[in-house]
Each structure stands twice: as structure tokens, then as C-alpha cells.
Amino acid sequence: MSKAAIILAAGLGTRMRSRLPKAMHPIAARPMLQHILAAASEVFDRAVVVVGPDMPELESAAAPHPVVVQAERLGTGHAALQASPLFEDFDGDVAVLYADNPLITPDTLRRLAAARERAGLALVAMRPADPGHYGRVLTNSAGEVERVVEWADASPEERAVGLCNAGVICAPATELFGWLRAVRNDNAKGEYYLPDVVGLARQAGRRVVAVEAPEAELRGINSRVELAAAEATAQARLRERAMVGGATLIQPESVVLAFDTQLGQDVTIGPNVVFGPGVVVEDGVEIRAFSHLEGCVVRAGAVIGPFARLRPGTVIERQAHVGNFVELKATVLGEGAKANHLSYLGDAAIGAGANIGAGTITCNYDGVNKHRTEIGAGAFIGSDTALVAPVRVGARALVAAGSVVTEDVPDDAMAIARGRQANKPGRGFRGKGVKG
């Protein structure tokens, strides 16, 4: 049977105090909306995203999934109903998910879909440590859901129930949209609430069952404080996945990973290392403390850091070394090459076995355009060298320390490009307190 998901993402997130739509706030370097879409894609055949008016960022983030606009924010039931025109000829199951609930796992969604096949409607529930004002899920002696009661409407006995509604539901498309059309708004806020379909399903004689999942998966995000808690949960998952996969994190709680960080086996990560999106690290790499990597590839056996920065477009080849306070951008550092100290290498190709001395910089930007620097295999660049791109230093060439290189250096040549030293006798420094 075909399965589809509706993602509700129209919330403004007033408590976020942000111009950014709530569902665009990132967790592990990816917007919340894209987290839930990624999880849904592993279970459902298609997804539709419901956004509010004037949310172009969300519409872009939702691509290539279709988007519908909830012109008036009249509640979650009303929001889900806006997607109904896209399901006119759909006879499968539809789940309703929330963009501000981004940590729900594909496993929970699979269990939800499987439970729906055994009942008319399935929902996801949790047992939070502090049930607070969550709606309560009331079940009968057979364990089936009788109804969901909002906290404000619950009796003291009902508030004592620990099973709480997470809001996620799944039902056959035709029945779901029929129930949504029947939802009333005779409540304090005058809104159409999605959980009301549970009572309508029961009135129609349909079995309703609950699938339980951990609170950490289902906690909604409505504030920066809750966003930070979700980030902590996501980071804990990513660190565990990295270590189970064969990486050593010396101080795991200090390492920040992105949703797509790929770490090979026998990788060692030092304290306070940060990974932005798009990083691939192959086997046997060591990344030392306080390094920052984003959009780069580090090949097997390389050593990075401490205090190194690898920016997008950088490739560190096998057994290469990048040392402290070295920054690379859109640069290939060849196999076995070394840049061990205090250098900036941008828009460059550095050959195998080359040595980059301390203080070397590639002058790659002329104020309008970026230009390339090429350094051949086995070349030696002396300390405090400025390479003014576009320029090529040949294989096995030697550039003397302190040079400003503006012309190509042939293979096997030595280049010296600095002002001639002149010594002036008797002109030494005579500061305050210096005799003679």
C-alpha cells in the first residue's frame, strides 16, 4: 500500500524571537524541516509540506517536495486539510508529522505505519518525565485508544495518566480527510485541532492504537532553550553513531558533528573539534583539538591540527599533514605534503610531498576575481612566502624564505624574490636608557 506524509511547517515560532521561520532553525547544521523530511523519506513514498504565507525560505528548503500554503493559521487540523487537494486520487495511508518535531526516527515512523495496518488510525504517544500540559491518551482495558483529552479539559484523574499525545497520526487518506472536514472549532482558541480526529475515528467504529516512543524523539521545539535541548539530543546520537562505526572521540561531549559527517574506522578526534556540513574523513585520520572542518575531504592517514581550519572545496590527500593555525580553502594538498604552521592556502593545488613553510600565503584574490596557485610535487616553499596568483611553482622547485613570488618558477629551479639587505653602520637603535 502507498504511504504519504504531510509535514506541518506553518508555525511562526513566536517564542523563538526570530525573523526566521521556526522550521528553518538548524539542528546539527540542517534545518528542522529537512530533518523530518529525511526521516519521512525512509518510510513514505511521498511528502507534502504545509507552510504559512510569505515563507520563501521554507518553500526552498522543502524542494523537491510539493508545498501548499495555509493562508490563515486556524490550527493543526486546518493545516493538514490544506493538503487534501493533492490527495484526491490517493488511496493509501497518510501520516501527519510536524516540522518542529525533527528528531522522530524512521524506526518510529515504520512502527506507526505498521500499527495503522492493524487499526483504523494509529498515533504516536510518549511517557515524558514531566507530562505537564500535554494532551493525555486514554486507553481501554484492551489497550486501544478511546480518546485524547487536552490538559485544559482533563479531570484530575485524567491528568494523572502518564501516556501523552505526541500529535503524530496515520490513517487511510479518504477517512482522514473526511474526519478533518468534520473537526469543529468550538474551543477557547477557535481553532481546528488535529487530535480531534481520534474521537471522530472512534465514533465511526474504527480501532485506534498508540505507538509509544521515547520523549527525546517527540519533544516539540518552540523556543531557543528547546532548540538547544534538541541539538544536544542530536549530537549525542551522532557521536554514538561515529563511535559505533569505529571512530575514537577522546572527549565526545566537546565534539560537534553535522548531520552528514562521515567518519571512517580508526579515526581519532581530539577535543573541541567542530564539523560543519559536507565533511568526509577516511580511515586512520587524526584530527587534533580545536580544529574546524566544513565541506572538505580528508583522505586516509592524514593528520589535521591542532587549531586547523579546512574550508569548503578542500581535499587533503593521503598521509598529508595540516598543522596549527593553517587554513585551507578550495585547495588540494597532495599525498604526503605538509603545511605545518601558520599558513593560508586558498584556491591552490599542492603536489605530493611538497613542504609549505611557516607563514606562507597564497594571494588568491585581486579584489574582483579569485586566482589559482599551483605548487608542484616535491617543491619546498620557504617560510614567510607570498605567492601572488595566478602563479605556478614547478616540481622540486625551491622558493627562498621571505619571497614575494609574482612569476612562475620552473621545475627544479630556486626562486629568490625579496629586497636586497643593506646594513648601515652606526645607525642601530638607541632607545631610552640605552647608553653609547
What is the gyration radius of the CA atoms in the chain, in angstroms? Answer: 30
C-alpha cell at 188: 477557547
Q: How far apart are CA 169 and CA 403, in angstroms?
A: 68
For 32, the enclosing helix (H) or strand (E) is helix 32-41
Sheet holding 315-316, edge to edge: 262-263, 280-281, 297-298, 315-316, 332-333, 348-350, 373-375, 391-393
With 0-12 / 13-18 / 19 or more C-beta atoms within 10 angstroms meaning exposed / middle / buried, residue 17 is exposed
DSSP secondary structure string for all residues of 99-160: TT-TT--HHHHHHHHHHHTTSSEEEEEE--SS-TTPPEEEE-TTS-EEEEE-GGG--HHHHT
Check: CB of residue 403 under 8 Å from CB of residue 359: no
**Cell, residue 155:** 479531570
Distance between CA atoms of residues 424 and 194, nearest Å: 87
C-alpha–C-alpha distance, residues 368 and 365, integer Å: 7
Query: Of residues 35, 78, 321, 341, which has the active-site annotation?
Result: 341
Angle at the Cα of 236 from the Cα atoms of 235 and 242, rounded to 5 degrees:
85
DSSP 16: G
- Establish whether 341 is a catalytic residue: yes
Q: 168 is written with which cell numbers?
A: 503524530
CA distance 343 to 361: 6
Catalytic residue set: 341
